[in-house]
Amino acid sequence: MDSKTIIAVDAMGGEGSPKKIIDGIKLSLEDSKENFFQIYGDKNLINSLINDKDEINEYSEVFHCDDKVADDDTPLSAAKKNNSTSMWKSIESQKNGSSQISLSAGNTGALLILSRLILNMITGVDKPALAGLWPNKIGMNLVLDLGANIECSEKNLIDFSYMGAALYKALYPDVEPKVALLNVGSEEIKGNEVIKKVFQHIKKTNEKNFDFHGYIEGNHIMDGDANVIITDGFTGNIALKTAEGTANFITTNLKKSLTNNIFGRLSSLLSFYALKDFKNKLDPRKYNGAIFLGLNGPVVKSHGSTDSRGLAYSIKMCSKIVKGNLIKKIKNNLNI
């Protein structure tokens, strides 16, 4: 067990929990035995989902919690529940050193505030960022902030750049992080005052932490020329959700067109095989898991409505983050 990544899982957050969480852990164990799970939540409910012979018994320990953070809890009401909740305890386990990373599919706002309360910010970092994966033409992008901070200062965006590059390196050790600032044009004079200052600062100070790509426009996010996309939480959240909405719109229309007439129905039958690749590549479960950056410990937020397969993907992400020494890499990049 010593060499395993120890993941503290909040079993009670998100739709269909705790079943989805337990099934997700079981799926991840089919793929790899590299992790050990601390499972936090209602012991009776959780145990009812596990048979004596299940492999999960060997790779996990259940920690009973009387309460949970509900979807309609405010960050304040969640914090008031203190250490009675599965979310709180799954984060706290990192503080006392018994786990290495925390994973929850629960209430995002509460998770952010509890993580900050319990783990504290890395000295010198003012605000945490929410980072997520997004496919590009040749591999994967990391985009941050996706909504933790509605307004960002120059310093916030600079911190996000260095932390994002560190996370990229932890997740993809073989790919060079190429950082770009999301903007309305690619020329130096474009954008608001904050982003122009960030551009100048990084241009002057960044030496070896990452390749600085300058500005990037929305239509080039998926080109693959840059892979770490930096923006404030307002713009990042809207950009990500707009991309989701567009993808959904196109695939819905495509499906309609393909079943509208006899040619379409015939081609649908045939293209079922051809489109497998396509669906597989764009499967949103593969990108499931947003990472909170800037805290003294890694916390991963799974999408509340993903399924057990999506949760298994976020478990894989947790393992990569711990093995990639994320917190150490962030401190190195920030010279802390």
Residues near its own copies (CB under 8 A) are 135-137, 147, 150-151, 182-184, 191-192, 217-223, 231, 233-235, 237-254, 256-258, 260-261, 263-264, 266-278, 281-282
In whole angstroms, the minimum distance from the beta carbon of 117 to its own copies comes to 21
**Cβ 132 vs Cβ 290: under 8 Å:** yes
Using a 10 angstrom Cβ sphere, with 0-12 exposed, 13-18 middle and 19 or more buried, the burial of residue 297 is: buried
In whole angstroms, the minimum distance from the beta carbon of 164 to its own copies comes to 17
In whole angstroms, the minimum distance from the beta carbon of 235 to its own copies comes to 5
Give 204 or 281: the residue with its C-beta nearer to its own copies: 281
- Half-sphere exposure at residue 241, Cβ-oriented, CA atoms within 13 angstroms: 9
Q: Is 175 helix (H, G, I), strand (E, B) or coil?
A: coil
Give 175 or 278: the residue with its C-beta nearer to its own copies: 278
Helix (H) or strand (E) holding 321: helix 308-323
Kindly report the number of other CB atoms within 10 A of residue 132's CB atom.
Answer: 21
Give 147 or 324: the residue with its C-beta nearer to its own copies: 147
Q: Which two tokens stand for residue 309?
A: 């397969």
Q: Which two tokens stand for residue 30?
A: 């089919």
Positive or negative, the Cα torsion across 186, 192, 198, 203?
Answer: positive
Give 240 or 293: the residue with its C-beta nearer to its own copies: 240
In whole angstroms, the minimum distance from the beta carbon of 71 to its own copies comes to 13
Give 54 or 154: the residue with its C-beta nearer to its own copies: 154
Give 2 or 263: the residue with its C-beta nearer to its own copies: 263
Contact partners, residue 65, CB within 8 Å, separation at least 6: 12, 40, 41, 42, 84, 85, 86, 88, 89
Q: Which two tokens stand for residue 179?
A: 């950082």
**Cβ 162 vs Cβ 334: under 8 Å:** yes
**Cβ 24 vs Cβ 55: under 8 Å:** no
**Cβ 101 vs Cβ 64: under 8 Å:** no
Please tell me the distance from the alpha carbon of residue 221 to that of residue 226, in angstroms, as a whole number: 7
Give 101 or 240: the residue with its C-beta nearer to its own copies: 240
In whole angstroms, the minimum distance from the beta carbon of 34 to its own copies comes to 31
Please tell me the distance from the alpha carbon of residue 211 to that of residue 145, in angstroms, as a whole number: 19
Give 240 or 321: the residue with its C-beta nearer to its own copies: 240
Give 219 or 335: the residue with its C-beta nearer to its own copies: 219
Please tell me the distance from the alpha carbon of residue 175 to that of residue 122, in angstroms, as a whole number: 25
Please tell me the distance from the alpha carbon of residue 112 to that of residue 153, in angstroms, as a whole number: 19
Angle between helix 19-31 and helix 308-323 axes, rounded to 10 deg: 60
In whole angstroms, the minimum distance from the beta carbon of 267 to its own copies comes to 4
In whole angstroms, the minimum distance from the beta carbon of 135 to its own copies comes to 8
In whole angstroms, the minimum distance from the beta carbon of 326 to its own copies comes to 26
In whole angstroms, the minimum distance from the beta carbon of 284 to its own copies comes to 11
